Amino acid sequence: MSTQVTVVGIGADGWTGLSARARELVEAADVVLGGERHLAMLPPTGSAGGGAGSGADADQTREPWPSPLREGLPALLEQHQGKNVVALASGDPLVSGIATTLVDLLGKDSVEVVPALSSVALARARMRWSAESTEVVTLVGRDPHLVARSLAPGLRLLVLSSDGSTPAEVAGLLTAAGYGASPLTVLADLGSETESRTDGVAASWGDQSAPDLNVVAVELVSSGATVLGFTAGLPEGAFDHDGQITKRDVRASALARLAPLPGQLLWDVGAGAGSVAIEWMRAHPTCRAIAIEAREDRSSRIARNADALGVPALQVLTGHAPEALTDLEAPHAIFIGGGATEEGVLDACWSALRPGGRLVVHGVTLETEAVLAVRYAQLGGELTRLHVEHAAPIGSFTGWTPARAITQLAVTKADV
């Protein structure tokens, strides 16, 4: 697709808030695409040019985005191929905006971006919060449970809302997670004549709605929350589980070797409670994972854990390996927490792994240990036995209680 598109950011103040260059780009366009709200901000076609007026030709085409957006865009852009196309977007089009989608579809050389002041910048200015002290969470078209990944006492969040119901959803999630004492400010219609501000506390926010265009500013205050760190090795109590869970000490060891990297995909085979896949995705907002679990009740539990810990995009697949692995996207890393002795599982995983990918396998039985010893001889890598002991009462004294030793194979697939 060779269509060229210029994306012009427009604020809530509309046409008069555009720079002279942005107005000229819109006026010169053969086609202007945008949401109904953005298109309504433009002066009628054929009106006088100059100043805040529009010199757009009377035959300029103005067309709203298709629905569903991503699926309908290729046909819409193909229809206007060869024309001077301008797309309107809110504020900075690369902050949860249409420009990101257009770059994905057309390539960066086919998209020019002319940003306006973003809602993030305006919200920081209203709150007097520095960029360095603030984390941005976008819920535009996303699951509100994403907020849970960023919960930590004292952290400031700017939440980009999907619509007017988002503040109440965020307040409810904060309260359920033990952050109900957090001050919450809803900044609506930023930069417009109808800009408004509503202050409150998460626990008492209730179901009050807000204008659809809003940003939620939160200063996180713990009110009995279980505070979770951002490094690997969350306590088992952070997960709902039936005992089938990779324990925190060996989980931290596994994740250190799996080495989560931005944008990369993990297969968690025999996922149990989903702890490895969930911690992989918590490592970076763009990390992806598929949890493969044979039991339906455990699959449902994995999905609940993913929501509670802020990674609702975790893909949960119920099925038996290796059959369930067919036709999945090739992973950058694979963790096998159970089932390594099942016929074909290790071979299927090794074959699917991308060059440079990491495979980590855990075993607690002699049979699994024997399999891993053979693979270690074939593939190299690291073969490690992990022994963990915890202090526990022995009568009126304290002694060490050992957990089952874990045999861990960690190997990187050579680049081809």
What are the pLDDT digits (tens) for 19-77?
999 999 999 999 999 999 999 999 998 765 444 455 678 889 999 999 999 999 999 99
Residue 324: its pLDDT value, please?
95
The answer to whether 11 and 117 have CB atoms below 8 angstroms apart is yes
Residue 52: its pLDDT value, please?
47
Q: Which CATH architecture has domain 5-117?
A: 3-Layer(aba) Sandwich (3.40)
Q: CA 202, CA 209: separation in Å to the nearest integer?
A: 13
Give backbone dihedrals phi and psi of 57, rounded to 5 degrees, phi first. -60, 150
Q: What is the DSSP string of 7-22?
A: EEEE-TTGGGGS-HHH
Q: Name which of 313, 260, 262 is nearest 291 in CA terms.
A: 313
Q: CA 64, CA 31: separation in Å to the nearest integer?
A: 11
Q: CA 286, CA 136: separation in Å to the nearest integer?
A: 14
Q: CA 34, CA 32: separation in Å to the nearest integer?
A: 7
Q: Name which of 218, 337, 362 is nearest 278 in CA terms.
A: 337
Residue 7: its pLDDT value, please?
97
**Residue ranges, the chain, pLDDT below 50:** 49-52, 416
- Alpha carbons within 13 A on the beta-carbon side of 409: 26
Is the fold of 5-117 the same as that of 120-219? no
| Beta strand pairing call for 5-10 and 315-318 | unpaired
* Sequence-ordered list of residues with C-beta below 8 angstroms from that of 218, at least 6 positions apart, any chain: 156, 157, 158, 159, 170, 174, 182, 183, 184, 185, 202
Q: CA 7, CA 97: separation in Å to the nearest integer?
A: 10
In the chain, where the domains are located: 5-117, 120-219, 236-412
Q: CA 208, CA 97: separation in Å to the nearest integer?
A: 26
Q: Name which of 37, 47, 42, 1 is nearest 23 in CA terms.
A: 42
CATH class of 120-219: alpha beta
pLDDT tens-digit profile of 309-346? 999 999 999 999 999 999 999 999 999 998 899 999 99
Output Rg (C-alpha) for the chain, integer angstroms: 26
Residue 224: its pLDDT value, please?
87
236-412: CATH, from 3.40.630.40, 3.40.1550.10, 3.40.50.300, 3.40.50.150: 3.40.50.150
